[in-house]
Structure 1
């Protein structure tokens, strides 16, 4: 699924999938969708993620923010350590 060269219809469905994942409560392995987000990165996806960052849902704000942060940093690996460090940094910044 996380191939960079997908047909437009497939890219649209994968973009929908990434949006669905970031809008729901975080589940184990959700951060794996960053690979898909990186493969289908676009203005449309970033717009959806920006809207999720501004949503009323703390889950959506956190998860979408993380995905956007990683999209801006393609060299940063998507590891549990990076996720925990990002979440801890966001929590500290909110206090």
Structure 2
């Protein structure tokens, strides 16, 4: 059994293919992989005892192996993303949600995974390869153009970390001066890039276009200084 990244998750390229037939085939494979994973988990739970007991330890190892062939369960980035073989597959999972959200939702919806993976990318964006940065910029632009989805604020947080000069150009192209949603979002992100001192972005800011402002000190807080 090939347990390299490509051996385990190379087939996920089909999930973002242009050909719908290829995407359906990949979704069916993911469904099978997940059934095997959950079957392994049920076998683990069916055996009582400590996890370090030989029988349970073997069942646990088998479950983790099955888990590693699933999406997004098989990602689990631990090493620096800039040098990790996990990076292309991590971005692919996010690309799948952006390009084919209905298929993602029906097959492998995981809002927590989306938020956690985007948080990893935001924290380590500066150290990512240029090709990965540019791919993420393309995905941010697609997110700006679409209707709001759960945890899209995490994409806006990622946008604040983008250090590519062409990103501002892409945002300027989207801002046509109208009140259309993509134009307002582009202006919003340009403002965020110009105001790195602004507080952490919350969902209400991105969803309603409210610009985050520093908290005002109360009289009691000022008196403590």
Q: TM-score, normalised by structure 1?
A: 0.74
In structure 1, the gaps of 5 or more residues are 87-95
Does 1:46 pair with 2:168? yes
Report the count of equivalent residues. 86
In structure 2, the gaps of 5 or more residues are 1-120, 212-225
The corresponding residue for 1:90 is none
Contact conserved, 1:26 with 1:59, CA < 8 A, in 2?
A: no
The equivalent position to 1:59 in structure 2, one of 181, 203, 207, is 181
After TM superposition, give the deviation of residue 57 of structure 1 in Å.
7.4
User: 1:15-61: per-residue Cα shift (whole Å, max 9, x none)?
Assistant: 11111111223333322212221222322111001111117771101
Aligned mates of 2:194, 2:154 — CA distance in 1: 17
The corresponding residue for 1:34 is 156
The corresponding residue for 1:9 is 131
Q: TM-score, normalised by structure 2?
A: 0.34
Cα distance change of structure 1 residues 63 and 56 upon mapping to structure 2, 3 Å threshold? same
Aligned CA-pair RMSD: 2.2
Deviates more, 1:7-16 or 1:27-36: 27-36
Secondary structure at the aligned position of 1:39 is classed as coil
